[in-house]
Amino acid sequence: MIYAKENGRVIPEEDKVFALSGRAKARIAEKGKAAVVNATVGALLDDEGELVVLTSVSEAIKTLKPADYAEYAPIAGTPDFKEAVKKAIFADYDPGCQIEACATPGGTGSLKIAIANYSEPGDKILTHDWCWANYKNICKEHGRDLATFRFFDEDGKFDADDLKQQIEELSKSQDQILLMLNTPAHNPTGYALSLEDWDRVIEVLNGSAVKIALLLDIAYIDYAGEDDEVRAFLPKLAELKENVFVMFGYSASKTLTAYGMRCGAIVCMSKDKEAAAEFKKTAEYTARSTWSNCNRAAQVVMGKVYSDPELLEKVRSERRTYRDMLLARGRAFERALNEEGVKSVPFVAGFFVTVECDDPAGVCAKLEDQDIFCLALPKGIRVSVASMSEAKCVKCAKAIAALIK
């Protein structure tokens, strides 16, 4: 008997990524870690395949008192947490406008709040054609759909012209568009919008005939490069006109290696007091009616990290070491691929690199036969350089190149 309603969603028997990772784990149990390349995991693992956990964050967790984790947190998060999130996003930059923050369970919760409140049932949410697959699921969950613009043109450059065209197209049927951009260290390509790309984005959004709600998904920002360089785009946002409302989707999952603590936030910055007040009201309403409030322990830890300069420096310096390890892996993968005459989708930094190809599912099946596990996307293969050593990155790149050349 069927009881559950699909409600316009396509609900698979099992989650593709978790199923794939299950197969990789089973192969590891059979043949041992060294024999298997598991490039499926969306978390940072060390060269031995163990989860990286920042010891500075672990130490901060150990100082929690019972009330820190037992008590309910306020709907929007504790005051210290909200301050911490602002520091985590803006660092030393002062946008000089209204900033509001609301706690969410991970970055995923921020996407839910943006979609629920900045689009209407039946709307299309716009994003880049290469994107985290969950974007579509969250849209569908809310009775919305996902529309995409071409992320890269034929020359591998950011395609602002197509962004403009897709905005114009959606403007024919919607009076407001929610645009979600994942940068820097984009999932799945590792691309980061350059300052020149940002100039084009700003020009396009300022020229839009309809209002734009812009959600910047910065889930991987702290692994994209030097802290100040990856935030160099922030002052550019001040050039946006009043037809654009800016929000950030922040996630502590990667930045604090706190995936399981489900800690994140949605943050808005606006010169318009009314729009900021409305953001606060609606975000808190959605939070209250969905998860009510978030993990207090994680919020207390965030508060501790960002209010203690010594602890913050420890976190930063530890993370820098792992970030450099990750960057070295990404470069090793790219180099090995290029040596075989194959190019990845434009990569700058981050957890993932993607290789475009004609038959991603077929290629991934053949890779599995060689004990190499990668995720097949509609237009290519996603490789998690976050989850394997440099040597395995090279092995994986060469195997992919041999199959698609």
Q: Which residues ranging from 110 to 139 are in contact with ligand PLP (CB under 6 A)?
A: 132
107 binds ligand PLP (CB under 6 A): yes
Round to whole Å and give the CA distance between 354 and 150.
Answer: 15
DSSP element (H, E) containing 316: helix 309-339
DSSP element (H, E) containing 177: strand 176-182
Q: One symbol per residue from 308 to 327: x for binding ligand PLP (CB under 6 A), - otherwise; what is it?
A: --------------------
Q: Which residues ranging from 258 to 287 are in contact with ligand PLP (CB under 6 A)?
A: 259, 264
Minimum distance of ligand PLP from residue 376's CB (angstroms): 17
Minimum distance of ligand PLP from residue 173's CB (angstroms): 27
182 binds ligand PLP (CB under 6 A): yes
Count of C-beta atoms within a 10 Å radius of residue 311: 18
Contacts of 81-86 with C-beta under 8 Å, sequence gap 24+, read: 81/265, 81/299, 81/300, 81/302, 81/303, 82/265, 83/303, 83/306, 83/307, 84/299, 84/302, 84/303, 84/305, 84/306, 84/307, 85/250, 85/265, 85/267, 85/302, 86/267
Minimum distance of ligand PLP from residue 251's CB (angstroms): 3
217 binds ligand PLP (CB under 6 A): yes
Minimum distance of ligand PLP from residue 249's CB (angstroms): 6
DSSP secondary structure of 35-57? G-EE---SS-B-TTSPBP--HHH
Q: Of 270, 343, 345, 254, nearest to 43 (Cα)?
A: 254
380 token code pair: 């290519």
Minimum distance of ligand PLP from residue 78's CB (angstroms): 18
Among 44, 219, 349, 396, binds ligand PLP (CB under 6 A): 219
Q: Give yes or no for a contact between 294 and 354, defined as CB atoms under 8 angstroms apart.
A: no
Residue nearer to ligand PLP on the CB measure, 262 or 304: 262
Minimum distance of ligand PLP from residue 128's CB (angstroms): 11
Q: Give yes or no for a contact between 349 and 91, defined as CB atoms under 8 angstroms apart.
A: no
387 binds ligand PLP (CB under 6 A): no
Minimum distance of ligand PLP from residue 218's CB (angstroms): 9
251 binds ligand PLP (CB under 6 A): yes
Residue nearer to ligand PLP on the CB measure, 187 or 270: 187
Residue nearer to ligand PLP on the CB measure, 81 or 132: 132
Residue nearer to ligand PLP on the CB measure, 69 or 259: 259
Q: Which residues ranging from 143 to 162 are in contact with ligand PLP (CB under 6 A)?
A: none
Determine the interface stretch with ligand PLP among 24-32, 101-109, 198-206, 360-368 (rule: CB under 6 A): 101-109
Number of residues binding to ligand PLP, judged by CB under 6 A:
13
How many C-alpha atoms does 394 have within 13 Å on its Cβ side? 8
Beta-sheet strands, E only, within 45-112:
98-104
Residue nearer to ligand PLP on the CB measure, 142 or 398: 142
Q: Which residues ranging from 329 to 368 are in contact with ligand PLP (CB under 6 A)?
A: none
DSSP element (H, E) containing 250: strand 244-251
DSSP element (H, E) containing 245: strand 244-251
108 binds ligand PLP (CB under 6 A): yes
Round to whole Å and give the CA distance between 203 and 97.
Answer: 21
Closest residue to ligand PLP, based on beta-carbon distance: 106
Q: Which residues ranging from 26 to 45 are in contact with ligand PLP (CB under 6 A)?
A: 42
Q: Give yes or no for a contact between 76 and 283, defined as CB atoms under 8 angstroms apart.
A: yes
Residue ranges that bind ligand PLP, judged by CB under 6 A: 42, 106-108, 132, 182, 187, 217, 219, 251, 253, 259, 264
